[in-house]
């Protein structure tokens, strides 16, 4: 929740002079989440093992699982990185993707389209390996949501755009092999 609070303050226009500090607070909160990403030990957030073998889970201090809406700010954080080169960096973007992979889905219905677009952007060939691999992990963890979104039984107006359909179709093909 510290990351969400820092991000919301970062987006507040009245906090203009504090933006570097607030950006650092959001980064620190993300790094802290990932340090606890392996059940057997604390990890370094940049460890490759964390991407492929991390057992990332969201829990409140009372062991309740938070709703995906509680982490909509992370999807906004990724989307903002696309528009504002100063708002995020590759390291933090990878951290956000790994934290979102713990959701095991595509997030709330209001942020789903933005999240899919961010995932597609983050898997681009020009992106650093850690960002691409973290995006692939997030896609893998969201495979059930992706499969259900491409179902023939969905109403026409709620289907994905052509690019998003191609992405999820390619993903389904890869997962079935």
> How confident is the model over 86-144, as pLDDT tens digits?
555 788 888 889 888 888 888 898 999 999 999 999 999 999 999 999 999 999 999 88
Residues 131-155: tens digit of each pLDDT: 999 999 999 999 888 888 776 455 5
Query: How many domains would you assign to the chain?
Result: 1
**99 or 25, higher pLDDT:** 99
Does residue 7 form part of some domain? no
In this prediction, residue 42 carries a pLDDT of: 65
Does residue 31 form part of some domain? no
What is the pTM for the complete model shown? 0.72
Query: Burial letters for 53-67: b for 16+ Cβ neighbours within 10 Å, e otherwise?
Result: ebebebeeeeeeeee
Does residue 26 form part of some domain? no
131 Cβ contact partners less than 8 Å away, ≥ 6 residues apart: 90, 93, 94, 97, 122
> Is 60 exceeded by the pLDDT of residue 46?
yes
Does residue 157 form part of some domain? yes
pLDDT classification of 177: cutoffs 50, 70, 90: very low
Does residue 171 form part of some domain? yes
Does residue 25 form part of some domain? no
Share of the chain above pLDDT 90, in %: 18
Structure tokens at 14: 């009245």
Does residue 9 form part of some domain? no
In this prediction, residue 162 carries a pLDDT of: 44
pLDDT classification of 1: cutoffs 50, 70, 90: low
Range of the domain at 135: 52-176
Does residue 41 form part of some domain? no
Spatial distance between the Cα atoms of 96 and 73, rounded to a whole number of angstroms: 10
DSSP state of 67: P
Spatial distance between the Cα atoms of 54 and 16, rounded to a whole number of angstroms: 36
Task: Summarize the chain as % helix, strand, coil (round to 5).
Answer: 65, 0, 35
């Amino acid at each position: 929740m510290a990351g969400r609070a820092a991000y919301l303050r970062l987006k507040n226009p009245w906090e203009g002079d504090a933006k570097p500090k607030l950006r650092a607070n959001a980064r620190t909160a993300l790094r802290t989440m990932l340090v606890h990403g392996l059940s057997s030990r604390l990890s370094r957030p940049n460890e490759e093992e964390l991407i492929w073998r991390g057992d990332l889970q969201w829990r409140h201090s009372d062991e309740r699982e938070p709703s995906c809406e509680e982490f909509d700010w992370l999807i906004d954080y990724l989307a903002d990185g696309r528009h504002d080169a100063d708002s995020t960096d590759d390291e933090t973007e990878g951290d956000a993707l790994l934290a979102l992979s713990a959701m095991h889905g595509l997030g709330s219905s209001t942020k789903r389209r933005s999240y899919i677009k961010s995932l597609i952007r983050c898997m681009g060939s020009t992106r650093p390996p850690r960002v691409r691999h973290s995006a692939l992990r997030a896609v893998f963890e969201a495979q059930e949501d992706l499969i259900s979104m491409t179902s023939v039984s969905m109403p026409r107006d709620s289907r994905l755009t052509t690019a998003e359909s191609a992405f999820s179709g390619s993903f389904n093909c890869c997962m079935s092999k």
